[in-house]
Amino acid sequence: MSRKTAKKLRKRLKRYDISKGRAGDESLIPVGNNTLGAKDLFKEKGMYATSSYPRQVPVPLDTFHKYNNLYGRVDFEMNPIFLAEDNLRQLPVGPSGDTLFVLGFVAEAFKDLQAYFKKAVDSGRVSVEGSVYGEIHAMQAWDTKSGVHHRYNTWWEDMYSVFVGKWLDSFTMQKIHTFDDFVKAWLNMATKLGFQKPITRTAFLTSAQLNPRATGLVIDVVNGKHDDDYAKYIGFIRDPNFAFFVRSCERFGFYVDKNAPWRIYADITNPYMQEKLEKFGLESIDEFFTTYYLKASNYEMDNLKIRLFQMYDLFLKQYPDVTVLSPKTGPEIAASYVPHRKANGGIKTNITYEARETMTWEELNKRYSDEYWLRLFVYLRAVETHKPYDQREFDREVRLACEYMNYVGLWRAIEYVDKVYLHTDDEIYEQRTHDLYQKNLKKDLTTDDACDTLSQNINEVKDYRPSFYF
């Protein structure tokens, strides 16, 4: 969409009867959306960020600002975390009819917010007519599809589809006889993909692939469009009940998302929300993280082991055999029922099929030690964090991690890996910003879309190869 089209959109504001005293300069009204070119989109996004949100209401949560986009995804030490889902509690069923969940203390605070809003409507303080905030209902929150496990499982399924469908050619396919061969081939792809996209769950948790609702702290009270700043401004920020909505949210312990004014986040630093936490037996914010969330890196080695085993098992079911070509000699030539000739010499060949090596879970655990999986974890984190290692430096880090594991314990080795390969909030923000402004990532991707995007990313970094090997 051009600037000319943007001006036409602004002319539509007349029907909303916005007075000069409230609207100000119409040229400052944002019209950014995904149809704009890069230059215009940048300008319009900047306009929304700086000029659209009113200053007379409580400060919102700006999820486009560095650390804020990691709210509920990392602890105070920037360690990626994921929700312990057994602490979820169901919200009252709203107009959508969907079964939605949040953490227990968040559910109670939201019920209080709903009751307060209903009382305001009944007393005439809030007018329902012509307002998206006339009634407060949970339209979206945590559900199975937005949860970490579903999202990450789908991500690996997409990676597998790209691996067998687009990465492996017929020649490479025939070189995979064993689990080791499979891992080697997969790592070739994962190395290039990991330069831009997450492989480990640790990296996935801070990426743009994860929905904020996966934290159990987020509720959408309206199904809004994230990619249309004009609709955000006219439909929500300019709503007559918006100021009351924002102040009410703060009163009951919620932030309003500046970039999605229909989305609210539980503010664990808010006095009201802390009262709810105390009701649930938590006396500090540190307890909040240890009670409701799990540190991703503590489960990463088992995560990688299980997923590679599952991928190989699926690969064997789909492609159980390797085609073997061997030259025929003597009587074999006459007895052959499938004659083949090589272009270079006219040599007749036999075609036989050799079963790929099977692998049980028991055999996997017996053959591959913790040192193997720890090395794999270090390798993938080194790729994801773009460490400029040579082989000697990489082997040194692996050796130190293994020494911590053997002489102190696995927990200490994981601590060491976290310290060395922890992204800073600036690095995470830079990557998430890059991802969010890619058109294909502004919506929930179908499997085909995701596979195409992953394949494209691999092609974009086809020349990337670290100076160290697994």
- In this predicted model, what pLDDT tens digit does every residue of 264-319 receive, in sequence order? 999 999 999 999 999 999 988 889 999 999 999 999 999 999 999 999 999 999 99
Do 306 and 407 share a domain, yes or no? Answer: yes
Q: What is the pLDDT of residue 28?
A: 53
Q: What is the pLDDT of residue 10?
A: 42
Q: What residues contact 122, with CB distance under 8 A and at least 6 apart? A: none
DSSP designation for 438: S
Burial code of 434-452, b = ≥16 C-beta within 10 A, e = fewer?
ebeeeeebbeebeeeebbb
Q: What is the pLDDT of residue 284?
A: 85
- CA–CA distance, 308 with 182 (Å, rounded to integer): 9
Last residue of a domain, one of 256, 283, 310: 283
Do 22 and 103 share a domain, yes or no? Answer: no
- CA–CA distance, 274 with 223 (Å, rounded to integer): 28
- CA–CA distance, 304 with 374 (Å, rounded to integer): 10
Q: Are 322 and 354 in contact (CB under 8 A)?
A: yes
Containing H/E element for 117?
Answer: helix 104-122
Do 260 and 219 share a domain, yes or no? Answer: yes
Least confidently predicted of 25-34, 57-66, 97-106, 243-252: 25-34
367, two tokens:
């053959």
Q: Are 198 and 208 in contact (CB under 8 A)?
A: no
User: Would you say residue 437 has pLDDT above 50?
Assistant: no
Q: What is the pLDDT of residue 216?
A: 96
* pLDDT tens-place string over residues 377-397: 999 999 999 899 999 999 999
User: Would you say residue 98 has pLDDT above 70?
Assistant: yes
Q: What is the pLDDT of residue 96?
A: 75
Report if residue 220 sits inside a domain. Answer: yes
Report if residue 93 sits inside a domain. Answer: yes
Number of domains within the chain: 3
How confident is the model over 144-151, as a mean pLDDT? 93
Closest CA to 220 of 136, 308, 342: 136
Closest CA to 465 of 399, 395, 386: 386
User: Would you say residue 37 has pLDDT above 50?
Assistant: no
Of the ranges 47-51, 95-99, 102-106, 259-263, the best mean pLDDT one:
102-106
Do 393 and 308 share a domain, yes or no? Answer: yes
Q: What is the pLDDT of residue 463?
A: 58
Least confidently predicted of 92-96, 239-243, 256-260, 262-266: 92-96
Do 78 and 179 share a domain, yes or no? Answer: no
Backbone angles phi, psi at 44, to 5 degrees: -70, -40
Closest CA to 54 of 21, 16, 8, 13: 21
Amino acid at 101: F
Report if residue 81 sits inside a domain. Answer: yes
Do 155 and 27 share a domain, yes or no? Answer: no
Do 306 and 453 share a domain, yes or no? Answer: yes
Any alpha helices (H) in 296-369, and if so which ranges? 300-318, 331-335, 361-367
Q: Are 72 and 215 in contact (CB under 8 A)?
A: yes
Q: What is the pLDDT of residue 427?
A: 59
Closest CA to 206 of 74, 89, 323: 74
User: Would you say residue 152 has pLDDT above 60?
Assistant: yes
pLDDT range class, residue 238, cuts 50, 70, 90: confident
* pLDDT tens-place string over residues 10-32: 444 333 333 333 334 444 555 44
Report if residue 167 sits inside a domain. Answer: yes
Residues spanned by the domain of 390? 148-207+298-320+356-460
How high does pLDDT run on average in the chain?
81
How confident is the model over 179-204, as a mean pLDDT? 94
Report if residue 337 sits inside a domain. Answer: no
Report if residue 290 sits inside a domain. Answer: no
Do 176 and 47 share a domain, yes or no? Answer: no
Report if residue 350 sits inside a domain. Answer: no
User: Would you say residue 455 has pLDDT above 70?
Assistant: no
Do 15 and 164 share a domain, yes or no? Answer: no
**Secondary structure of residue 324 in the 3-state scheme:** strand
How confident is the model over 213-234, as a mean pLDDT? 86
We report the CATH number of the domain holding residue 79 as 3.30.1380
Do 115 and 100 share a domain, yes or no? Answer: yes
Q: Are 378 and 455 in contact (CB under 8 A)?
A: no
Q: What is the pLDDT of residue 456?
A: 60
How confident is the model over 40-66, as a mean pLDDT? 63
Q: What is the pLDDT of residue 328?
A: 59
Q: What is the pLDDT of residue 17?
A: 34
User: Would you say residue 47 has pLDDT above 80?
Assistant: no
Report if residue 24 sits inside a domain. Answer: yes
How confident is the model over 314-325, as a mean pLDDT? 89
- CA–CA distance, 283 with 288 (Å, rounded to integer): 8
pLDDT range class, residue 129, cuts 50, 70, 90: confident
Last residue of a domain, one of 283, 307, 335: 283
Do 253 and 233 share a domain, yes or no? Answer: yes
Q: What is the pLDDT of residue 383?
A: 93
Nearest-Å Rg of the Cα atoms of the chain is 27
Do 176 and 39 share a domain, yes or no? Answer: no
12, two tokens:
């539509």
- CA–CA distance, 217 with 146 (Å, rounded to integer): 12
Q: What is the pLDDT of residue 330?
A: 54
The torsion of the CA quartet 396, 400, 401, 406, rounded to 10 degrees, works out to 130
Q: What is the pLDDT of residue 441?
A: 39
